[in-house]
């Protein structure tokens, strides 16, 4: 069953998304939180969201359908998922962004629009090079994962910029 996913990707991504919803609902119960309609809505919206939303962005989106939704419901649900390891948090600016993708990946961040895209990787284990640098720059530091952020201009922004340039010429 496809519940109104607003982004255009259909296919096996939807199957992954519904598995994710099921796993998140299981974990919510294990965290001692009842699967209320509002919490289920938070999870369904979040599990299908590739944009790395902040709690506020999800709240704004959900409030249209659930006018009685409180920010605390959104935040606490995301927090429970993060504690259970079914979501990770990402800090790129001031507010924490939440990420439902728990497979190993790096991120590409657009300088212009702020879009955050997942870049799959084999492993987040630190490379030998990274370990060497850590040993000299941060003696005693115990590394858990090596996360990369690629910064630049996304495809959409690149197209906008080159269209603008064409208009000027
Ligand atoms: Zn962009
Ligand atoms: Mn991600």
Residue 11 above 70 pLDDT? no
Question: Residue 120 is part of a domain; what is its CATH number?
Answer: 3.30.1490.190
Do both 114 and 96 map to the same domain? no
Report the chain's C-alpha Rg in angstroms.
19
Do both 16 and 98 map to the same domain? yes
Alpha-carbon distance of 23 to 127, in angstroms, equals 31
Give the environment of ion ligand 1: residues with CB less than 5 A: 110, 112-113, 115, 154, 157
CA–centroid distance, 156 to ligand 1, in Å, is: 6
Range of the domain at 148: 104-169
Do both 60 and 8 map to the same domain? yes
Structure tokens at 29: 């119960």
pTM: 0.79
**What total of structural domains would you count in the chain?**
2
Do both 19 and 63 map to the same domain? yes
Helix or strand or coil: residue 110? strand
Average pLDDT over residues 21-25: 91
Do both 36 and 93 map to the same domain? yes
pLDDT in tens, 34-68: 899 999 999 999 998 999 999 999 999 999 999 99
Do both 79 and 95 map to the same domain? yes
pLDDT band at residue 167 using 50, 70 and 90 as cut-offs: low
CA–centroid distance, 112 to ligand 1, in Å, is: 5
Do both 87 and 114 map to the same domain? no
Structure tokens at 35: 């699967």
């Amino acid at each position: 069953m496809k519940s109104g996913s607003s982004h255009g990707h259909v296919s096996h991504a939807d199957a992954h998304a519904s598995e994710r919803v099921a796993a998140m609902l299981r974990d919510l119960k294990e965290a001692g939180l009842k699967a209320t309609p509002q919490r289920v809505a938070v999870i369904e919206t979040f599990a299908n969201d590739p944009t790395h939303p902040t709690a506020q962005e999800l709240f704004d989106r959900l409030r249209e359908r659930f006018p009685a939704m409180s920010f605390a419901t959104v935040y606490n649900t995301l927090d429970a998922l993060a504690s259970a390891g079914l979501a990770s948090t990402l800090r790129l600016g001031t507010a924490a962004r939440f990420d439902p993708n728990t497979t190993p990946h790096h991120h590409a961040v657009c300088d212009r629009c702020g879009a955050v895209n997942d870049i799959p990787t084999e492993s987040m284990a630190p490379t030998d090079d990274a370990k060497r640098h850590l040993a000299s720059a941060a003696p005693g530091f115990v590394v858990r994962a090596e996360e990369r952020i690629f910064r630049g201009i996304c495809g959409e922004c690149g197209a906008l910029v080159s269209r603008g340039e064409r208009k000027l010429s």
